[in-house]
């Protein structure tokens, strides 16, 4: 799949954007060595002509507050992976709608007034999912199947709502523990059913869109032996290493269209770059198509 950079948001101009003096950024999580965020962000800042620093740091649960409080004025913001997307909510002063709906933020933007630090939270995963599917020509779907029930699944539910879904099915290993994701669906205005993951993987899928939020290596060949899509149905698999994943391989072999989670990663990172440069995930970057092309090349995707 070759999704283009989003075209629906206004582009920033020198008059509308004053670049911040703070220029240090990082992605946090545990483990974090595998993260491709540094490649994506550094490629974007190079394309923009910005000499900004973007690194990674291993931050375990319970350590985020001390890390943030230890940062100086050179820091502009942070990207967050699990298990920090929920923990960060206790540290932020304001949050976007997607963060509130999902109960998870993957981006924070710092502001300072004198010695006072303000922290804004954003969830760019929702938009990343929507834009990755848009690359397959899918801008609407009345029904979405979601594999998994964690933080990324909650973002997938909100993304499904943005696609106009009337109903989502959540396939969980433990349906009895799916209260949080069903609450997210209700708040997003989407009807929801929760079923056993094993039952879904053993049958034909009739939903036009499936989003797998399961981690890489979570499924064996035996798990998905009976899994079959409706011909032409789309699968977005957030697990991208290795690619194609076992799930994507089976899906494609049986007539479906599989989209790598790298597209979601690239699109959500583009929104993060907008936040760090412009302070707004909807405000386009100068020559954004070129910036996005540089980002995708950095992780060996081709626009």
Catalytic positions, please?
Answer: 85
Q: Report the distance separating Cα 197 and Cα 213, nearest Å.
A: 12
Is 94 within 8 Å of 111 (Cβ atoms)? no
Q: At what angle do helices 261-278 and 37-47 cross, to 10 degrees?
A: 50
Q: Report the distance separating Cα 254 and Cα 245, nearest Å.
A: 14
Q: Report the distance separating Cα 69 and Cα 290, nearest Å.
A: 35
Q: Report the distance separating Cα 278 and Cα 65, nearest Å.
A: 25
Place of tokens 């990663």: 265
| Burial category of 203 from C-beta neighbours within 10 Å (exposed 0-12, middle 13-18, buried 19 and up) | exposed
Report strand pairing: 191-196 vs 167-172: parallel
Beta bridge partners of 113: 116
Q: Report the distance separating Cα 224 and Cα 246, nearest Å.
A: 8
3-state secondary structure of 296: helix
Give CA separation, 72 vs 34, 67, 109, 112, 116, in Å: 26, 11, 13, 10, 12
């Amino acid at each position: 799949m070759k999704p283009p950079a989003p075209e629906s948001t206004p582009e920033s101009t020198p008059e509308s954007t004053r670049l911040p003096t703070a220029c240090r950024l990082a992605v946090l999580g545990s483990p974090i060595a595998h993260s491709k965020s540094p490649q994506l962000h550094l490629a974007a800042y190079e394309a923009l002509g910005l000499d900004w620093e973007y690194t990674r740091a291993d931050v375990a649960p319970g350590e985020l507050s001390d890390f943030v409080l230890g940062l100086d004025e050179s820091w502009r913001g942070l990207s967050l992976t699990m298990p920090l997307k929920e923990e960060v909510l206790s540290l932020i002063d304001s949050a976007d709608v997607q963060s509130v709906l999902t109960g998870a933020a993957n981006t924070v933007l710092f502001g300072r007034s004198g010695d006072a630090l303000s922290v804004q939270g954003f969830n760019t995963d929702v938009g990343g999912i929507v834009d990755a599917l848009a690359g397959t020509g899918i801008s609407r779907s009345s029904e979405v199947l979601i594999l998994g029930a964690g933080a990324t699944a909650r973002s997938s539910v909100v993304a499904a709502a943005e696609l106009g879904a009337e109903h989502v099915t959540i396939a969980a290993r433990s349906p009895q523990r799916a209260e949080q994701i069903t609450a997210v669906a209700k708040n997003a205005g989407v009807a929801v059913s929760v079923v056993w993951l094993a039952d879904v993987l053993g049958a034909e899928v009739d939903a036009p869109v499936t989003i797998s939020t399961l981690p890489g290596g979570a499924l064996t060949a035996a798990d998905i032996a009976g899994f079959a899509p409706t011909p032409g149905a789309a699968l977005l698999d957030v697990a991208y290493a290795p690619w194609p994943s076992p799930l994507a391989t089976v899906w494609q072999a049986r007539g479906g269209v599989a989209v790598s989670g790298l597209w979601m990663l690239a699109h959500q990172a583009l929104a993060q770059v907008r936040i760090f440069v412009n302070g707004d995930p909807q405000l386009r970057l100068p020559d954004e198509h070129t910036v996005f092309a540089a980002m995708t090349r950095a992780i060996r995707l081709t626009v």
